[in-house]
Amino acid sequence: MILPFLWMISSSLKTRSQVWVFPPDWIPDPVQWHNYVEALSGLPFHVYTFNTLRITIPVLLGTLLTASMCGYGFARMRFPGRDTLFMVFLSVLMLPAIVTMIPVFVMFTHLGWVNTLKPLIIPPILGGGPFNVFLFRQFFRTIPNELSDAARMDGCGDLYIYWRIILPLSRPVLATVAIFTFLANWNDFIGPLLYLQSDSKKTIALGLATFLGLYSTNWELLMAAATAVTIPALILFLFCQRYFVEGVVLTGLQGV
Amino acid sequence: MAPIATSIMDAARWRRVQRTLAGYFFISPGLLGIALFLVGPLIYSFWLSLTEWDIISPPVFVGLENFRTAFLDDKLFWVSLYVTVRYTLVAVPLTLFAALAAALLLDLNLLGISGFRAIYYLPAMTPAVASVVLWRWIFNSEFGLLNYILDFVGLPKVEWLISADVVMYSFWIMALWSIGPMMIIFLAGLHGVPRTLYEAAEVDGANAWRKLWAVTIPQLSPVILFNLVIGLINTFQVFTAGYLLTAGGPKNATLFYVLYTYRNAFEWLKMGYAASLSWVLFAIVMVMTLFIFRSLGRAVHYEAG
């Protein structure tokens, strides 16, 4: 499992001639830190990073808001059609992405949104993705009803209960959804590939793919770029590890 | 008397209407998303699948012609379907088994568990493009890590990405590398097995192997089913690796179905044909999922209540 990563880091710190040695050396000598500088300045990675953040941050905030709202509606309110609609939400998970990708692309072409960041920001915000709604719903169902009943007795409306009582109690699920959403957007390739064409609009993942095309045999630079792109996701993971497992436990497989 | 009764009834009805409106208010972002980016596009895509369209000139209605072409005339359609099914038939059981084995090992808690959990999850954290870059170097015929290992144990070098006969093995190896998410789900499932069942089995004198088969596997069967279905759906849609690592080659040996559909739509601008292909995929995934639920659903053990 870990071997490929060691190989990546080791290769990223070698000289060009040391990369082309068989059998390979594991310890780079001398260590070439400047590979990273060279790789990251080979293409405008700072622009790519900025674009990625411009997508990731609004999507993250929007997803947390709308997915938790939907989750609240499905978990804590009663209204006709609720369970049917929830099944519709869940069945979306079975739909291959390519089926809607084609018509949605045509739609955005008509709107003139191709080569803007909008197609990557607006759809995920609306509803926040069925899986996230599911996570929120499962979590909200575990919060005792007494709390919201008491507030209702005092004359509080659902918006107040959602915002002031339920959300503050939901830090674990908020963290889990935030992490999943951040990663999905940080790592997404096919969305940017479809919609972003000019260099000034590209995201990190798409930029790395361009880099792969341009420097296809400069392995030390490619490995440096790949390592650099992976590091933010790794740091996030190491700090938030427990939320991943909590997220899975939350899906409450036994209760599906 | 009567007016008071009506007003009470009115109040009750009014409260019900209010509650329904409030409920729909909360799920409205999701409903809007589903209407705009799911139901609308699905209808549109179904219409597109009955047309011939290059995006530039207006679409021409051709009825079921696209489906006829795919099934009868398009050799690449069958190639891509074969490639995808072949990949799936090995990758899904392989990853399912490996993920379960890894989860069982981790559940024994022999070593610091969280560290190992992190290591297994690392590949899933790596951006897909970064892992493609990494694997291209690992599979490099001359200087790659894999051939170094083969050389080390005295085996001949393999043309991992160049030979059409071998390239699928490379993809299976990559699939094996990213079992982390599946494994975490198994691990969570294992934590949910009641300890009392193991204690009861021990009282009956069951050994570790017997406990695995009589307690763990039946208790875990809903999780296995879940992983199987999700694994199938995801594996059938593999795209990025085929697109970036091999571009469908060599000799179309990794022309995965979604990659072929993508090319039809966005490289050759055959939007109508691509829409038909996507509906065929949708139908396959649906039938597959329903079939699994029908045939295995009964064998799955659910806790009463």
Distance from CA of A221 to the nearest CA of B (A): 11
pLDDT digits (tens, 9 = 90+) for A192-212: 999 998 889 999 999 999 988
Taking CB atoms and an 8 Å cutoff, what residues of chain B touch A227?
130
All structural domains of chain A with their residue ranges: 46-139+170-255
Please compute Rg for chain B using Cα positions. Answer: 26
pLDDT band at B295 (very low <50, low <70, confident <90, very high): confident
> Any CB–CB contact under 8 A between B130 and chain A?
yes
Q: What fold does the segment set B65-299 form as a domain?
A: MetI-like fold (1.10.3720)
Cα(B51)–Cα(B65) distance, integer angstroms:
8
Which residues in B lie closer than 8 A to residue A77 (C-beta atoms)? 19, 22-23, 26
Size of interface A-B (CB pairs under 8 A): 257
Task: Please report which confidence band the pLDDT of residue B262 belongs to, taking 50, 70 and 90 as the band edges.
Answer: very high
| pLDDT above 50: residue B305 | no
Contact yes or no for B242/B259 (Cβ under 8 A): yes
Among the partner-chain residues A74, A88, A102, the one whose CB lies closest to the CB of B45 is A102
Q: Quick check: A241 and B34 CB within 8 A?
A: no
Residues 145-174 of A with CB under 8 A from B: 157-158, 162
Query: What is the C-alpha separation between B23 and B44, in angstroms, rounded?
Result: 29
Q: Under 8 Å CB-to-CB from A103, ≥6 apart: which residues? A: B40, B41, B42, B44, B45, B48, B275
DSSP result, B156-213: PP--TTT-TTTHHHHHHHHHHHT-HHHHHHHHHHHHTS-HHHHHHHHHTT--HHHHII
The pLDDT tens digits of the residues spanning A145-194 come to: 888 888 888 888 889 999 999 999 888 888 888 888 888 888 899 999 99
Model pLDDT, residue B174: 93
Listed by number, the residues of chain A in 185-204 with a beta carbon closer than 8 Å to a beta carbon of chain B are: 186-187, 189-190, 194, 204
Dihedral angle computed from the Cα positions of residues A255, B189, B95 and B252, in that order, rounded to the nearest 10 degrees: 20
Residues of chain A positioned with their CB less than 8 A from the CB of B140: 219
Tell me the pLDDT of chain B averaged across its residues: 88
pLDDT band at B48 (very low <50, low <70, confident <90, very high): very high
Q: Which residues of B touch A230 (CB under 8 A)?
A: 125-127, 130
Pick the CATH number of A46-139+170-255 from 1.20.1740.10, 3.40.50.1970, 1.20.120.1200, 1.10.3720.10: 1.10.3720.10
What ipTM, to 2 d.p.? 0.86
Task: List CB contacts (< 8 A) between B226 and chain A.
Answer: 253, 256
What would the two tokens of residue A134 be?
Answer: 């599911």
CA distances from A192 to A105, A118, A155 (A): 12, 11, 47
Q: What angle do helix axes B180-191 and B113-125 make, rounded to 10 degrees?
A: 140
Report the pLDDT averaged over residues A33-60.
Answer: 90
Q: Where are the domains of chain B?
A: 2-48, 65-299
Phi-psi region of A97 (alpha: psi -120 to 50; beta: other; left: phi over 0): alpha
Q: What residue has token string 């409106």? A: B21
Chain Cα centroid distance, residue B296:
18
Asked if B148's CB is within 8 angstroms of A253's CB, the reply is: no
A254 band by pLDDT with thresholds 50, 70 and 90: very low
Q: Which two tokens stand for residue B173?
A: 């190896």
